[in-house]
């Protein structure tokens, strides 16, 4: 039987918990799903691996890939910081007969939905409140005050776009959010065969 790979997009504000949900699903179903590694021009954080966390590339290299049409979507998420999904990532995972899991920016998620239409399930991971989101970002200790404020401002704008996603999952308790996400994904894979 021919493999007809699907795409599952998780988006939401920074600190909403989308990465934790994606990691949980990947660890439970390693043969079914593969993670789409995004490309970025941002600096590598402690513990991140090139080619596993992100493809860390220079701004010049990123712009060259844009010119060459190598991205299915890309965005300048913050001034001077680019993120994008390489076409080669989707091909790589589909060749492995895996459905593709994305952990990407809200605009990127909506762009993938426009491109792949009914082959995509979009899930918006919603924080219980902006105050809760601020606490999560502070606990990470990865932001200075300026980048913290940028992320909080961006979160408010992103939350307004949640209505354009197939599902909204409020992450007020991580285990529940993982379970709800898993249920939505399995329903989608069954109905779209």
User: In angstroms, rounded to a whole number, what is the distance separating the alpha carbons of residues 85 and 70?
Assistant: 9
Cα–Cα distance for residue pair 170/128, rounded to 1 Å:
6
Summarize pLDDT for 57-72 with one digit per residue, the tens. Answer: 999 999 999 999 999 9
Q: Specify if 175 maps to a domain.
A: yes
* pLDDT for the residue numbered 191: 79
Q: Look at residue 2 and tell me if it is in a domain.
A: no
Give the closest residue to 74 by CA, choosing from 102, 49, 111, 121: 111
CB-based contact 163:66 (threshold 8 Å): no
Residue 176 binned pLDDT confidence (cut-offs 50, 70, 90): very high
The pTM of the full predicted model, rounded to 2 decimals, is 0.85
Residue at 1 is within a domain: no
CATH of the domain at 82: 3.40.50.300
Domain of residue 38 covers 7-191
| Residue in this structure with the two tokens 């920074």, named with its chain if needed | 14
**In this structure, what are the phi and psi dihedrals at residue 7, rounded to the nearest 5 degrees?**
-125, 130
Q: What is the mean pLDDT of residues 22-40?
A: 96
Name the domain count of the chain. 1
Q: What is the DSSP letter of 163?
A: G
Inside any domain, residue 123: yes
């Amino acid at each position: 039987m021919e493999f007809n790979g699907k795409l599952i997009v998780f988006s939401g504000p920074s600190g909403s918990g989308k990465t934790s949900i994606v990691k949980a699903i990947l660890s439970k179903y390693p043969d079914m799903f593969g993670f789409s590694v995004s490309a970025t021009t941002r600096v590598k954080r402690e513990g991140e691996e090139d080619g596993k966390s992100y493809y860390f590339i220079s701004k010049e290299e990123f712009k060259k890939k844009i010119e060459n049409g190598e991205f299915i979507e890309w965005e300048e998420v913050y001034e001077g910081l680019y993120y994008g999904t390489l076409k080669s990532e989707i091909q790589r995972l589909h060749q492995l007969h895996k459905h593709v899991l994305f952990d990407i920016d809200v605009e990127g998620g909506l762009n993938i939905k426009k491109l792949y239409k009914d082959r995509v399930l979009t899930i918006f991971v919603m924080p219980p409140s902006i105050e809760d989101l601020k606490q999560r970002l502070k606990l990470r200790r990865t932001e200075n005050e300026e980048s913290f404020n940028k992320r909080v401002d961006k979160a408010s704008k992103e939350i307004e776009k949640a209505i354009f996603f197939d599902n909204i999952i409020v992450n007020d308790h991580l285990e529940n959010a993982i379970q709800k996400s898993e249920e939505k994904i399995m329903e989608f894979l069954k109905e779209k065969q």
